[in-house]
A = this chain, B = another copy of it.
Amino acid sequence: MSPELHINLANLRSNIKFFQTIIKKNTELSAVVKSDAYGLGIAKIVPEIERYGVRSFFTATIIEAIKIRSFSRDSEIFTLNGFDFLKSNLYREHNITPIINNILEAQKFIEIFNQTQKVAIQLNTGMNRLGLDTQSLLENIDIIKSLPLNLILTHLACADETSNKENKAQKDLFIKLCKFLPNIRQSISASHGTLLGNEFHFDMVRPGIGLYGGIRNNGLKEVIQIKVPVLQDFIIDKNMQVGYNFTYKAKHKMRVATLAMGYADGLPRTLSNIGKLFYGSTPCPIIGRISMDLVTVDISNLPKTPKYLCVFSPEYRVDDFAKDCKTISHEVLVNLGERISRVYSK
């Protein structure tokens, strides 16, 4: 038996509509679907998002982009991690739009494609991760202007901190730099940026995690639940120990269940003796070390042994789980393993 990842497509649709409702009238809603649509499965998620009018998708790599293309014939698909020019034939063959991040990529693009292929550019407005910085842009403005650009984008470093002044600083620099490349669509915001308000919407917003229920916001709904089957239950007496290296010793007689989810499935080992699974809203504490394929929990407070427990509850959402893992929802989602079957509900 293996865990099931239940994906609520109605709530995904609700989140798409929420973003469509809050953005400016002429702003396009695109979707970030890299890393298998954040673990939710592109084969189902991409066509579903497309049904609600989304026509632009963002991936990290050309290989991901080609997979997306097989589920979406007519959309525009961008590769955020740059132009992988050693695979230039794949961009042409599958009609993928590279996002140029530096001058070398720009030069290679012109050399290979000249004006025959669409292309976007990313500017570095302070995050110092990817994209052309001010100096590179200005020193090479003629090369950049010769590209058949259809989108200029940048990425905000602190968009989840609504009052952080860096957001405005990045936006102001972006506006300034875009003046050197007039009449091209502009995009600055992913999910959190979109929530910062109209002045961050520009011509296109690019939410990812917000679509998939990883942000706590009144307008956004939870999208996923994980059901973990119980493999075995048993009683342990006081002072009996549980799991690898006996990190748990029972303080009293208790009922324990062993379930079919471990760190290979995305239940991080760091939650050993800290995390919990749920029967409805009732928490069942994880006891002992989480194994590769298994987890043991204290089910003494349940009236009988259930067939499965859940990873989330109405009061304990993906972002709460992520906090207990000392990370963010994004990492929780993309770490959900191959063995978990994806189950989609309308």
Contacts and interface: CB of A to CB of B under 8 A. Distances in A.
Contacts of A236: 128
Interface string A322-343: 0000111011001101110000
A84 B1 contact: yes
Contacts of A136: 234
Contacts of A334: 263-264, 292, 337
A127 interface: yes
Contacts of A232: 82, 101-102, 130
A158 to B, nearest CB: 5
Interface stretch (A8-16, A56-64, A145-153, A313-321): A56-64
B327 A269 contact: yes
A296 interface: yes
A36 B338 contact: yes
A156 B291 CA distance: 13
Interface residues of A, number: 63
Interface in A11-48: 34-36
Contacts of A294: 81, 129-130
Contacts of A160: 245
Nearest to A1: B84
27 contacts: A1-B84, A35-B339, A60-B292, A60-B293, A61-B293, A64-B339, A80-B293, A82-B232, A124-B234, A128-B240, A128-B241, A128-B256, A128-B288, A128-B296, A129-B243, A129-B258, A129-B291, A129-B296, A130-B231, A161-B245, A166-B246, A263-B331, A263-B335, A264-B331, A268-B331, A270-B327, A292-B330
